[in-house]
Structure 1
Amino acid sequence: MSKKSIFYTLFFILLSIGFMGYAGLLIKDGTGNFFGKEKLPVLGPAGHTIHSFNLIDQEGKPFTQNDVKGKIFVSEYFFTTCTNICPVMNKNMEKVYAQYRNTPDFMILSHTSDPDYDSIPVLKAYAEKHGAQPANWRFLTGDKRQLYRLARESYLVDDGHYTGEDDFVHTQWFALVDREGRIRGLYEGTKEKDIEKLIKDIDRLIHE
């Protein structure tokens, strides 16, 4: 082998080693995150997390913040008699559910905006209509004031203020919450592009 051939052989070996090393850095940065990819932002004021709550699910069982401790979840507000945005939102939520229904540390929380009408049997029938299993998709009811406070002060999906019996939460926003109870994204549940982004962002959080 000539000196020139040896030189080129060594050059390509060193080039390959360098490339593999760079690729390794590109894939992982030692913390499990993709190198160069920014983490999802944390929304809300500094230190903001979801407040404690005490609700009831479609099975009639108590559901509290302890049931989502250490989990990633998506929160939404709807009501079963809604004929406007809610059917579109929950049809889109089915896509999220289909993607992550077998992920043990992921959940969907669908809160009713109309607890006076949306009783436990009504919520159970609605959940079954959407193929939702209570293991990871809960339809929640409870005290109206608490539900609205969660929407506005915890999930940041509504900017209103509780004004009594005539008050109502009607919002198209989904909130993505991480394992520490922090809001990591808000998505319009009626828009396909937002749903696509939500699905991708859930995956990013799972691997964060």
Structure 2
Amino acid sequence: MQKNTAKVGILIGILAVPTFIFVFLKLFGQNYYTLPYFMPEIDETGQVIVKGADTVFHKIPTYELVDQKGQKFSSARTKGKIYVADFFFTRCGTICPKISNNLTRIQSIFSADTNVIIVSHSVDPKHDSSAVLQKYAQKYDAKYGKWYFLTGDKKILYDIAIKGYKLPVADASDYDKKIKEVDETFIHSEKLLLIDKEGYIRGIYDGTYSLDVERLIGEIKVLTEIYKSNKK
């Protein structure tokens, strides 16, 4: 009984931390807290790159794909935005529906904030045309301009995932032609990434885990307040 009580207390504590930080910043108007930066740049010897006294962190590179409306989507569209990025495919019957449902909730919470957007990248571009993505977007009530679904050249998408967002992705059928089950074909991460206005990774979350999604929601609010306080 005591062990169960302790577990519940720990879970509540984890969930409450981002909210407490947000409220603290809101009340006192000072940036006493900052979110960490992820993915330091590494040189050819495996050492972290440092410029002066500061670690150099990885930034999401520029790229161009196509969105659910068939319009060109340049990564320049994310400049000056806080955004949540993920990788999925429309035929996924395992983790993707849960992730998309959680992203629907995030979209709803930040519906009035034009500085927060969502960018979902398909790992199955051969099937996931703009028309297919548009139907998927409608299924999750995605608002165009708030939540983008991207497709395009497979190599570009996979390079963006691996080299840009530092997330694993693979098409198992490239190695084993016997694989026919679609959920066994495309290997991708369940992670959601929080990217800041400058293109740096500021948070990594399990998109299938409700407590992590709550933490993401709290940290979007924290990052928003940090930008507001930096303007003062």
TM-score (norm 1): 0.80
Identity of aligned residues (%): 38
Higher-Rg structure is 1
Distance in 2 between residues matched to 1:83 and 1:52, nearest whole Å? 30
Distance in 2 between residues matched to 1:28 and 1:133, nearest whole Å? 32
Q: Tell me if 1:135 matches 2:148.
A: no
Deviating runs (4+, > 6 A) in structure 1? 161-164
Aligned residues: 178
Residue 44 of structure 1 corresponds to 39
Using a 3 Å threshold, how does the CA distance of structure 1 residues 146 and 202 change in structure 2: closer, same or farther?
same
CA deviation after TM superposition for structure 1 residue 47, in Å: 3.0
Which of the residues 104, 118, 128 maps onto 2:128?
A: 118
Residue 203 of structure 2 corresponds to 185
TM-score (norm 2): 0.72
Distance in 1 between residues matched to 2:126 and 2:195, nearest whole Å? 27
8 Å CA contact retained: 2:170, 2:188: no
* Aligned ranges 1:125-164 → 2 under 5 Å: 125-158=135-168
8 Å CA contact retained: 1:157, 1:175: no
Which of the residues 71, 76, 79 maps onto 2:89?
A: 79
Which of the residues 76, 79, 88 maps onto 2:98?
A: 88
Cα deviation digits, residues 26-65 of structure 1 (max 9, x gap): 8133xxx2x3x3x111000123100111100000000011
CA deviation after TM superposition for structure 1 residue 148, in Å: 1.1
Residue 27 of structure 1 corresponds to 28
Instruction: List alignment gaps of at least 5 residues for structure 1.
Output: 1-22
Structure 1 SS opposite 2:119: strand
Residue 105 of structure 1 corresponds to 115
Distance in 2 between residues matched to 1:28 and 1:207, nearest whole Å? 8
Structure 1 SS opposite 2:84: strand
Q: Report the RMSD for the aligned CA atoms in angstroms.
A: 2.2
CA deviation after TM superposition for structure 1 residue 100, in Å: 0.7
Instruction: List alignment gaps of at least 5 residues for structure 2.
Output: 1-23, 41-55, 176-184, 227-232
CA deviation after TM superposition for structure 1 residue 133, in Å: 1.1
